[in-house]
């Protein structure tokens, strides 16, 4: 079986420039069948170290657009140490600009977004929602405009993506009795945190359907006693934070979003329309 070919698109911004260049090059090889894995909004060397390790273990290339010198130097040096192919897509042209036009670059990420602030804010929000979905990285809690909390299957991810298209940066955190919530959750302003709840019967129905779709018939995940335990635990966390709570039992994502934004508007989080 042929090993899949992967290109890690690494950027301290959205990464659109790198993705377009990778696709243009890939189109010259067997129809452009290559997997593109985004690593956007790189902020420190830990983000880079993770992608270097992942690249070392796969048949892959790192294509990057990093304008912050310390991040670029780290990626260049570590990729050489690990024998990983890392291609700089931006700096050669930037250096040509500097030499030919006798100007120094600002070396600040995301400046291009000023060309179309609303469009790029939306793209940034979507990337943010993906990066900080399902409690993957607790750093997103402090950086988010809105933080959603709730048990599994309360529409946290769909709601996060819907709000992202309205240009809100949303992080969501699952509440599970066996897993201690991140400390950042109790430090965030309650004015931007929203709890999502659902009736036990409705959640039971949703989880049973989820298991059916996965080809599973029996699981504690859909057990009613387990659901009651989770909901009780989640309610305690929400009360501790003091955040508003929305019951999503019979609401479409759009309806929940409108209600959520109206609630947050009263608390000082304004609309971005």
pLDDT of residue 272: 55
Domain limits at 74?
A: 6-114
Rounded Cα–Cα distance for residues 174 and 186 (Å): 14
**Are 50 and 169 part of one and the same domain?**
no
pLDDT of residue 31: 63
Q: Total structural domains in the chain?
A: 2
Tokens of 12: 């301290």
Is 139 assigned to a binding site?
Answer: no
Residues of the chain with pLDDT under 70: 1-2, 30-32, 112-116, 218, 270-273
**Are 127 and 248 part of one and the same domain?**
yes
In this structure, the number of other CB atoms found within 10 A of the CB of residue 272 comes to: 14
Tokens of 94: 């930037």
Tokens of 55: 């690249």
**Are 140 and 101 part of one and the same domain?**
no
Residue 46 included in any domain: yes
Give pLDDT tens digits for 31-64. 667 889 989 889 889 999 999 999 998 889 999 9
The answer to whether the beta carbons of residues 243 and 253 sit under 8 Å apart is no
| 158 phi and psi angles, rounded to 5 deg | -60, -40
pLDDT of residue 113: 57
Is 9 assigned to a binding site?
Answer: no
pLDDT of residue 158: 96
Count Cβ atoms within 10 A of the Cβ of residue 57 and give its class: 0-12 exposed, 13-18 middle, 19 or more buried: exposed
DSSP output for 188-214: S-GGGEEEEE--HHHHHHHHHHHHHHT
pLDDT of residue 116: 65
Is 156 assigned to a binding site?
Answer: yes
Is 138 assigned to a binding site?
Answer: no
Secondary element (H or E) of residue 173: strand 170-174
CATH number (domain holding residue 243): 3.40.50
3-state helix, strand, coil in the chain (%, to 5): 55, 15, 35
The answer to whether the beta carbons of residues 235 and 200 sit under 8 Å apart is no
Residue 245 included in any domain: yes
Count Cβ atoms within 10 A of the Cβ of residue 189 and give its class: 0-12 exposed, 13-18 middle, 19 or more buried: middle
Residue 235 included in any domain: yes
Residue 132 included in any domain: yes
Q: Strand 170-174 relative to strand 193-197: parallel, antiparallel, unpaired?
A: unpaired
């Amino acid at each position: 079986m042929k090993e899949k070919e992967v290109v890690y698109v690494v950027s301290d911004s959205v990464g659109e420039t790198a993705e377009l260049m990778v696709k243009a090059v890939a189109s010259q090889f067997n129809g452009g069948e290559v997997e593109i894995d985004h690593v956007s909004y790189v902020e420190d060397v830990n983000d880079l170290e993770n992608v270097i390790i992942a690249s070392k273990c796969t048949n892959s290339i790192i294509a990057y657009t990093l304008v912050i010198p310390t991040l670029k130097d780290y990626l260049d040096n570590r990729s050489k140490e690990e024998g990983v192919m890392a291609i700089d897509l931006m700096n050669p042209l930037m250096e040509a600009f500097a030499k030919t036009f006798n100007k120094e670059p600002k070396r600040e990420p995301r400046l291009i977004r000023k060309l179309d602030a609303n469009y790029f804010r939306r793209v940034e929000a979507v990337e943010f929602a993906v990066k900080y979905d399902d409690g993957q990285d607790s750093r997103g809690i402090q950086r988010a405009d809105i933080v959603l909390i709730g048990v599994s299957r309360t529409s946290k991810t769909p709601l996060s993506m819907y709000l992202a298209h309205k240009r809100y940066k949303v992080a969501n955190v699952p509440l599970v009795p066996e897993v201690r919530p991140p400390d950042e959750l109790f430090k965030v302003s309650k004015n931007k945190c929203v709890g999502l709840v659902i009736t036990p019967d409705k959640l039971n129905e949703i989880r049973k359907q989820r298991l059916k779709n996965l080809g599973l018939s029996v699981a504690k995940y859909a057990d009613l006693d387990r659901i009651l335990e989770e909901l009780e635990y989640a309610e305690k966390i929400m009360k501790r934070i003091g955040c508003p709570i929305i019951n999503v039992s019979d609401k479409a994502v759009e309806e929940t979003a409108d209600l959520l934004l109206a609630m947050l508007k009263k608390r000082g989080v304004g609309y971005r329309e």
